[in-house]
Amino acid sequence: MKKKWLGLIAGAGLFLFVGCGGNQETTEDTPVTNDSEQVSVNQDEQAEKDAKTLLNFLYQGKRSEQLRDVTNQSADSIDSYLVSELSKKQDEMFAENENRDDYYLVIDDSNYYASDIVKDYAEAYLKQTKRISFDIQNVNISGDEAIVVASYYPIAGLQEANPIGAARTELFGGIDEDTFIRKSQNKDLKTIKSLITLKLYAIYYGELDYDAEKVLSPVELEFTLTKKGDHFMANDDVIYQLVKESRISTYQDNSSDSETTESLIEESASEY
């Protein structure tokens, strides 16, 4: 009888020993994440997303709901602002030349007024801007600012101007500038020549939808976004800067020794 009880006690002791061993927890080293590092990573990611949203619209024409988070504007509002700014530069050039009359071109017995020509030019300019490829390389956060570095293939500004003169025969049937000037019955030759160039650009790159040549080698682009709330945003100055930087003063092979479309317009205005 004593042996039987001893056996039961030994068995119970073994059971308790195994049970205690089963409840023991093994400790492993777990990585500790620094909260400030995590915030920094999240900000970098957010800044990159916001920069991509902005460039996708300006350089690719891609609209998204996130665009308002980055610009506080709708896509249509941004386009209207840019067309207005691009037109303003040409209007200011005319004003500097003290051109105050209501200028127009007569083409195929139709009158094309200066304000319409300039607007068509600006819209064609913006249309070509939205055909640029890019890749965001780096984002550096400094306080509330995100400095974005991207590589992109901008329009070769010197090459953009080349087809305009060659297209005159195709677009206007070989009518020369003297004929335009005479039909327009306007004594200001500077402005008329500028309007001819603007009209050619609008038709060639707008209506006929030819693609402006891009550089063959990527170029570095840098711009700054400012944090407001949960997003890094671009103001109007940054947006306009990026559109202007869609052209660089080089040929397709990145060489430079000639004139851009804008310099061609300005030369037309000062030729006489």
Q: Where are the alpha helices (DSSP H) in the chain?
A: 2-22, 35-60, 67-71, 75-96, 114-129, 157-166, 168-172, 177-184, 189-201, 236-244, 261-270
What is the mean predicted confidence (pLDDT) over 113-125?
92
pLDDT in tens, 125-146: 999 999 999 999 999 999 999 9
Helix or strand run (H / E) with residue 98:
none
* Per-residue model confidence as pLDDT tens digits over 25-34: 444 455 555 5
Mean pLDDT (whole number) for 100-113: 74
Going by their DSSP bridges, the two strands 219-228 and 231-233 should be labelled as antiparallel
With 90 as the cut, is the pLDDT of residue 206 above it?
yes
Cβ within 8 Å of residue 207, ≥6 positions away:
124
Average pLDDT over residues 211-226: 97
Q: Which residue has the higher pLDDT, 203 or 109?
A: 203
Strands 155-156 and 247-248: parallel
Q: What is the pLDDT of residues 51-86, one digit of tens each?
A: 999 999 999 999 999 999 999 999 999 999 999 999
Residue 270, pLDDT score? 45
Q: Give the per-residue pLDDT at 110.
A: 81
* More confidently predicted of 42 and 11: 42
Q: What is the dihedral of CA 121, 127, 129, 133, to 10 degrees?
A: -160
- Which positions ≥6 away from 57 have C-beta within 8 Å? 63, 64, 67, 75, 78, 130
Total-model pTM: 0.78
Q: Report the pLDDT value the prediction gives residue 190, as an integer from 0 to 100.
A: 77
Residue 132: predicted pLDDT:
98
